Amino acid sequence: MSDGQSVEADKGGGLPLAAGRQAVPATVLLWAVAGAVVVADQVTKAWALSALGDGARLPVVGDVLGLVLVRNSGAAFSLAAGYTWVLSLVAVAVIVAIVRASRRLASTWWALVLGLVLGGAAGNLLDRLVRPPGPLRGHVVDFIDYGGYFVGNVADIAIVVAAVGLLVLTLGGRDRDGTRQRPAGAAGGREGQA
């Protein structure tokens, strides 16, 4: 490449099923991960609504980790409270962007990370669409209390894990198409030698 970069194929285009069979396409992995996150998120939120009373904290690991039911009209750390409709539109934009990007997805790792983001965004968007006070204004159910600093849910965990994964993939030079960008001369370490 002319910009001093070489491209190396990433063997992580899909998950192997068994000897002699084709790999699971990255898009299938993305949708499976996203679906699993949405199901886990919604099931745990339903449990929290039925098992936890508003405001009563149930300690899990002393003061460090607990369970408490909170209906959050904002984003993480209750930021943007009162702007639920804006957060809903941002979630829709993220979902659309990931769906569009998934068409060119060939990397297993990118599929995993984008599946986590998609599932997390969709899980919290579902709350904003169907929970009171109404569509695009609904409050997200949060119930995992991190030592009084903030309260989150399974969708939030998926988004945070995905953010770390995105950072690792980006810093590692891995592209969505399954290639890996490397500085020129780093591919084999012997370029230019006779």
Sequential DSSP letters for the chain: -TTSEEEEE-S-SEE--STTSPPEEHHHHHHHHHHHHHHHHHHHHHHHHHH--BT--EEEETTTEEEEEEEESSSGGGTTTT-HHHHHHHHHHHHHHHHHHGGG---HHHHHHHHHHHHHHHHHHHHHHHSTT-TTTPPEEEEEE-TTS-EE-HHHHHHHHHHHHHHHHHHTTB-TTSEEEEETTTTTS-TT--
| Residues catalogued as catalytic | 142, 156
